[in-house]
């Protein structure tokens, strides 16, 4: 009965808040698992008393679900004085393209103003906006990667709240890639909108934990932050997301591949944007060998995908087992394979965005020099070990 109610909730929510293209594949097993974990937003007894009689703003998107309704709807129903909704990349409803500008507006369901941080007016709250609320509530589903922008938006908002002496309450959610840490630590020469902290690509932290680390390590200003933790979650929990966190991460399999295949954003290759399986394949017209082909098309969530309307030859990763992906960690084999098989020069294959994603200069240099993935991994291992020691100080959940 509980499982049927859960699926009914998902279907109803998808109809209201998501496009069909953004719906995520959820198995019966994952539904049970999701019910066993209580996300921070579901622990209303922990935070609703902190909001009574105060002016409240919310940093949230379509993933902020509390049992059978959106957090915004629940807060309004509970009589909370909600004065503003802050929206991150992809917009409040989660349907905009990566990096697409989204205008501010008003939520049609509640009449609450929406303040977009991905508009043409910058990615920080204005003084007028911070003056309008007393406490900021944060609820977004992250996927645990340094280049996934939700945590960066959260830290920008935390900094704005610190400057205005406003409290922040983070309703924590599990990290679906939280069972491991891997990859090079960001060289701050490459700090950008897709990499804000000196942490590895796969950081192994929830949103609450990464906020506490950023403040504790002095990377973000001191701020009055309270985390409402998940119940029933550990970092070894295989938590399957009930809702797609962004338009092109449609399956749990894609979320597991994302740490490695996202690097193709910094090359001339396609990673499947504009197909039915983004982040689960890669290819280019010049790739040699193999029989798998695909052609990116304009579609919702990928209006102008790389290599649009161009036949690409490449590799289909949909049959790779989840456990194999997780065991491989941050895997450079895919990038190395594509670089070798296209026959393109380094200047033709890589773009400057590659360093912003991978976070260091030496990965490209070592690939071009003919090094193996294991040889490159050995280069980042010392900094990864150092990070793991620091990370332990901020864990809210068992490993």
pLDDT, one tens digit per residue, over 98-134 is 555 556 688 888 899 999 887 656 779 999 999 999 9
Helices (H) and strands (E) in the chain, counts: 14, 14
- For the ranges 23-27, 256-260, 288-292, the lowest mean pLDDT is seen at 23-27
Q: Which residues of 56-91 are buried (b: 16+ CB within 10 A; e: fewer)?
A: bbbbbbbbbbbeebbbbbbbbeeebebbbbbbbbbb
- Domain parsing of the chain, residue ranges: 17-228, 252-368
Answer yes or no: is pLDDT of 11 > 60: no
Answer yes or no: is pLDDT of 372 > 50: yes
Answer yes or no: is pLDDT of 27 > 70: no
Contact present, 114 and 129 (Cβ < 8 Å):
no
The terminus-to-terminus CA distance of the chain in angstroms comes to 32
Looking at the chain, the whole-number percentage of residues with pLDDT higher than 90 is 80
Q: Which run of H or E residues covers position 137?
A: strand 135-139
Answer yes or no: is pLDDT of 17 > 90: no
pLDDT of residue 290: 87
Answer yes or no: is pLDDT of 23 > 60: no
Contacts of 112 (CB under 8 A, 6+ apart): 72, 76, 82, 83, 84, 85, 106
Mean pLDDT of 162-188: 98
Mean pLDDT of 244-267: 96
pLDDT, one tens digit per residue, over 302-326 is 999 999 999 999 999 999 999 999 9
pLDDT of residue 322: 97
pLDDT of residue 68: 87
- CA dist., res. 136 & res. 168, Å (int): 5
pLDDT, one tens digit per residue, over 38-54 is 999 999 999 999 999 99
- CA dist., res. 321 & res. 342, Å (int): 26
Contacts of 144 (CB under 8 A, 6+ apart): 175, 176, 177, 178, 202, 203, 204, 205, 206
Q: What is the number of other CB atoms lying within 10 angstroms of the CB of residue 286?
A: 16
pLDDT of residue 90: 58
- For the ranges 149-153, 197-201, 381-385, the lowest mean pLDDT is seen at 149-153
**pLDDT band per the 50, 70, 90 thresholds, residue 96:** very low
Answer yes or no: is pLDDT of 34 > 80: no
217 burial level (CB within 10 Å; 0-12, 13-18, 19+)? middle
pLDDT averaged over the chain?
Answer: 89
Contacts of 298 (CB under 8 A, 6+ apart): 274, 304, 305, 308
Contacts of 125 (CB under 8 A, 6+ apart): 86, 115, 117, 157, 160
pLDDT, one tens digit per residue, over 187-218 is 999 999 999 999 999 999 999 999 999 999 99
pLDDT, one tens digit per residue, over 210-252 is 999 999 999 999 999 999 999 999 999 999 999 999 989 999 9
Give CATH for domain 17-228: 3.40.50.12170
**pLDDT band per the 50, 70, 90 thresholds, residue 137:** very high
**pLDDT band per the 50, 70, 90 thresholds, residue 32:** very low
Contacts of 361 (CB under 8 A, 6+ apart): 187, 189, 190, 355
Mean pLDDT of 281-297: 96
Answer yes or no: is pLDDT of 8 > 60: no
């Amino acid at each position: 009965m509980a499982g049927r109610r859960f699926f009914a909730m998902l279907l109803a929510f998808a109809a209201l808040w998501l496009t069909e293209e953004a719906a995520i594949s959820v198995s019966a097993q994952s539904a049970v698992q999701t019910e066993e974990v209580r996300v921070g937003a579901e622990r209303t007894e922990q935070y609703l008393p902190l909001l009574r009689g105060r002016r409240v703003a919310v940093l949230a998107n379509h993933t902020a679900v509390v049992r059978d309704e959106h957090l915004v709807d629940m807060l309004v129903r509970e009589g909370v004085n909600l004065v503003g909704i802050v929206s991150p990349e992809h917009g409040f409803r989660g349907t905009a393209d990566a990096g697409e500008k989204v205008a501010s507006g008003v939520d049609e369901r509640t009449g609450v103003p929406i303040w977009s941080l991905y508009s043409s007016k910058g990615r920080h709250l204005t003084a007028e906006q911070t003056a309008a609320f007393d406490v900021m509530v944060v609820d977004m589903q992250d996927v645990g990667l340094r280049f996934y922008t939700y945590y960066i938006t959260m830290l920008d908002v935390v900094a704005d709240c610190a400057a205005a002496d406003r409290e922040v309450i983070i309703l924590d959610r599990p990290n679906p890639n939280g069972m491991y840490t891997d990859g090079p630590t960001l060289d701050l020469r490459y700090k950008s909108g897709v990499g804000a902290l000196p942490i590895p690509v796969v950081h192994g932290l929830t949103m609450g934990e990464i906020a506490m680390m950023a403040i504790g390590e002095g990377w973000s200003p001191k701020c009055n932050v309270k985390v409402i933790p998940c119940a029933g979650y550990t970092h070894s929990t295989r938590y399957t997301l009930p809702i797609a966190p962004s338009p092109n991460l449609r399956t749990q399999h894609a979320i597991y591949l994302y740490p490695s295949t996202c690097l193709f954003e910094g090359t001339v290759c396609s990673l499947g944007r504009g197909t039915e399986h983004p982040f689960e394949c890669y290819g280019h017209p010049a790739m040699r060998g193999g029989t798998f082909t695909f052609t990116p098309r304009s579609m919702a969530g990928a209006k102008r995908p790389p290599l649009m309307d161009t036949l690409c030859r490449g590799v289909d990763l949909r049959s790779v087992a989840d456990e194999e992906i997780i065991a491989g960690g941050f895997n450079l084999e895919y990038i190395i394979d594509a670089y070798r098989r296209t026959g393109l020069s380094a200047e033709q294959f890589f773009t400057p965005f590659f360093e912003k994603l991978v976070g260091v200069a030496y990965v490209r240099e070592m690939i071009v020099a003919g090094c193996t993935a294991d040889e490159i991994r050995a280069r980042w291992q010392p900094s990864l070990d150092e990070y793991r020691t620091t990370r332990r100080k901020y864990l809210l959940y068992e490993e």
